[in-house]
Amino acid sequence: MPLTLADTLPTDTDEREYLWTLNFGPQHPATHTTLRLVLTLDGERVVDAVPHIGYLHSGFEKLGEHLDFNQYVTIVDRMNYVSPVANEIAWHHAVEKLLGVELTPRCKYLRTILAELMRLHDHLLNVGTAALDLGAFTAFLYGFQQRENIYDIIEYASGQRFHASYTRVGGVLFDVNNAWVEKVRKFIKEMPPTIDEIDKLLTRNRIFIDRTKGIGVLNKVDAINYGATGPIARASGVVRDLRKDEPYLAYGDLDFKVVCSEGGDCYARYLLRMREMAESLKIIEQALENIPGGPVNVDPGTDLVLPAKPAVYRSIEGLIQHFEVLMPNRGFDVPCEELYAATESPNGELGFYIVADGNVRAYRARTRPPSFIHFAMLPHMIRGYQLSDLVAILGSINIIAAELDR
């Protein structure tokens, strides 16, 4: 059939008709977990992005109202499963602040070591996957090898590799011994070469730099306005780290630097995480060499922690104390108050807003999840960049969907 000219040329009824829509996720390898973006594209340029979340919503905050302060720790460490113990520390930090408990020096140092191990745990995965999404597989494997060693350390202390549920109100589940200290010491020695290896693979890698430098730029004003915290805010020039600004645990005694950058792009966030790992190692080393002796839990007489098992089995006082903690109408002495308390988790400010009604369980246990706040910024960060930059930005802001949706 011969081609004939149409009488009238088709006109664009809507000037945005040439844009097309792409559904990204919820099951796309580069989203890592179940999150979904509906992208509006002009060619390969992203005009707009609408995130849809809630695929992993499991009602953690509702459960928090039905489980007591010690039971809820098992739920809390399933939020950010890349750094589980950091969540537990944040949760019990808030609970202990509510109850007015002063931890023993040994527990403070122990928790500091664990919190920093978790920072390494998180950053190793994040740096690895950020590179993995851009096509560099090896850094991820180097990172995972060291993560395996951290799993071993956590397992040695708590009996669980992953979801340790290690902290308790007023202390931790088990004390650690010298063999554990040796294990951590060995890990600190082995860790710097891994950081160097990743550094050699990525920092001056032409492809990696091209894919991350100048991508996903977040300036300082926007970072503050959008509520960014942690590495993302610090990479944008917000000089803020709760470990320095509001020292908790043993951070006040230790010497470390807050790493900041002014780049605000994916590359700055990558570099910042690499430097933070070096600082974390410094903190662990100092805390490990200065870990005080003495009990790890607060005095059992305060009815906060369970007494030692030999005391429970062999003395009536120990048995009574054990019951005092566990009986439903006894337990903690909780004030009728509410408070917000936050710690610097690897991903940013992880806070808990607890409303207590005098009961042994929280009346309202709200989590301030850093992933949730950071994912809300994504449309702002991605606008104007190419579709392929999306994975670089997603990788650099470290979204953990279980924490995002809770």
Partner 1 sequence: MLELKSLHDRFGYDLTESSFRDNRRIVVPSEKVYYVLEHLWRECGFDMLVEMTAADYLEYPGATDRFGVMYVLLNTTSGERLIVKTHLNLPELELPSVYPLWHSADWMEREVYDMFGITFAGHPDLRRILMPEEFTAYPLRKDYPLKGRGERHNFPVITRAES
**Site residues, partner 1 (CB under 8 A):** 53-54, 57, 59, 61-63, 65-66, 97-98, 100, 222, 224-227, 229, 238, 240, 245-246, 335-342, 349, 351, 353, 355, 357-358, 363-364, 366, 368, 372-373, 375-376, 380, 405-406
E-strand ranges in 43-145 read: 45-52
In the complex, minimum distance from the CB of residue 239 to partner 1, in angstroms, rounded to a whole number? 9
| 249 CB-side CA count, 13 A | 31
Q: How far is the CB of 333 from partner 1 (least distance, A)?
A: 15
Residue type, 369: P
Q: Amino acid identity, residue 65?
A: E
Q: How far is the CB of 26 from partner 1 (least distance, A)?
A: 13
List, in order, residues 6 or more apart from 47 with CB less than 8 Å away: 19, 40, 41, 383
Cis check: omega of the bond before 26, within 30 degrees of 0 = yes
User: CB-wise, 197 or 246, nearer to partner 1?
Assistant: 246
Decide if 18 contacts 12 (C-beta within 8 A): yes
CB of 108 to partner 1, least distance (A): 17
Of 106 and 240, CB closest to partner 1: 240
- Rounded to whole angstroms, the Cα distance separating 156 from 161 reads 8
Q: Looking at beta carbons only, is 287 or 304 nearer to partner 1?
A: 304
Angle at 245 between CA 243 and CA 246, to 5 degrees: 70
Residue 61 C-beta: closest distance to partner 1, Å: 6
- Smaller CB distance to partner 1: residue 55 or 156? 55
Nearest distance from C-beta of residue 34 to partner 1, angstroms? 13
Cβ proximity to partner 1, 245 vs 317, nearer residue: 245
CB 147 within 8 A of CB 122: no
CB-nearer residue toward partner 1: 92 or 240 = 240
CA–CA separation, 90 and 144 (whole Å)? 25
